Amino acid sequence: MHDNWLETIGVGVESRSITAGLTHYVPASINHRLGIHVGAPVNASCHCDGKHHSRVQSDGDIDIVPAGLDGDWKDDADCTILRLWVSPALVRRAAEDLDIDPDRVVVNPQFQRRDARIEHIAHALATGLNPDMPSDRLYFESLAKALAVQIIQGAASKPEAPARQTLSFGQKRRLTDFIEANLDQDLSLDEMAQVAAISVSHLKVLFRRTFGMPAHQYVIHRRVERARALLHQGKMPLSQIALEAGFSHQSHMAQSMKRILGVTPAALIRMQR
């Protein structure tokens, strides 16, 4: 299973032997890279992110190189590196599961990081390299997620300018999912407040700050977009599209589309022909 781990669970791993004295150029990757030194210490140097680092690399020392960054590495003795590739998509999913905005997670270069959990996870993942070991996908998926969580916990956060309180990432995601799933229903502020686990009065304030418009306007905009998508499909009469998009009647849909898009449903249909 290790040959396609990157495609299936978002992590790849290999044990790599490094020859003394050679400078190893590692090109930028679309994935985050971790290199864990295994065995006796070596004098090592690297040039990465415009900086030069000289150090004694000991067993368990971890270098983390974020996606898109290349570098040069050199060691004064033969050594072994346990190399891992971690998909940024896996890190994003792990951040979302932790109710953290993934766009605020910044994986920066780190050298000689000591992290017993990462080391343990890496060696457990490496057992998949042994063809005699049975591969349990669920087990390896759990290890991959645990590794992503450790990377997030050691990552930096983008500085945030002082701002008034808004909906959290999790609240925003739950509300948008709820609205999209129920556009054809008669949505209420009470229901949305329950989804966000806040009071109605608090929802009104935070929703406007977060989305730039009141909740009812946001819902109308989403209904207009739903109606436009159904119009492009050309499989339903206008009256049915209005109901599917959550409008009370066809004329209400036409008025809303005219106000938001600047064109009527009939005009959109003509434009498609």
Q: Is residue 173 part of a domain?
A: yes
3-state secondary structure at position 82: strand
Least-confidence region, from 118-122, 154-158, 171-175: 154-158
Q: In the structure, what pLDDT confidence band is assigned to residue 135 with cuts at 50, 70 and 90?
A: low
pLDDT for 129 equals: 55
Q: What average pLDDT does the segment 138-145 reach?
A: 86
Q: Are residues 174 and 96 in the same domain?
A: no
Same domain, 121 and 18: yes
Token code pair at residue 119: 């080391």
List all residues 6 or more positions away from 81 whose beta carbon is below 8 Å from its beta carbon: 15, 16, 18, 35, 36, 37, 38
User: Same domain, yes or no, for 27 and 139?
Assistant: yes
193-215, pLDDT tens digit by residue? 999 999 888 899 899 999 999 99
- Looking at 104, 132, 157, the residue that finishes a domain is 157
Asked if the structure places residue 162 within a domain, the reply is: no
The CATH number covering residue 213 comes to 1.10.10.60
The pTM of this model reads 0.62
214 vs 132, higher pLDDT = 214
Is the pLDDT higher at 23 or at 176?
176
* CATH number of the domain enclosing 22: 2.60.120.280
Q: CB 193: neighbour CB atoms within 10 A?
A: 19
Q: Is residue 155 predicted with pLDDT exceeding 50?
A: yes
Domain with 68, as residue range(s), is 2-157
Tens digits of residue pLDDT in 207-241: 999 999 999 999 999 999 998 888 888 888 888 98
| CA Rg value for the chain | 26
* 131 backbone dihedrals φ, ψ, rounded to 5°: -65, -15
Residues 96 and 197 in one domain: no
- Measured at the CA of 75, the angle between CA 70 and CA 80, to 5 degrees, comes to 90
Same domain? For 174 and 153 the reply is no
Structure tokens that stand for 160 in this block? 């945030």
Helix (H) or strand (E) holding 196: helix 189-196
User: Would 93 be classed as within a structural domain?
Assistant: yes
Same domain, yes or no: 110 and 14: yes
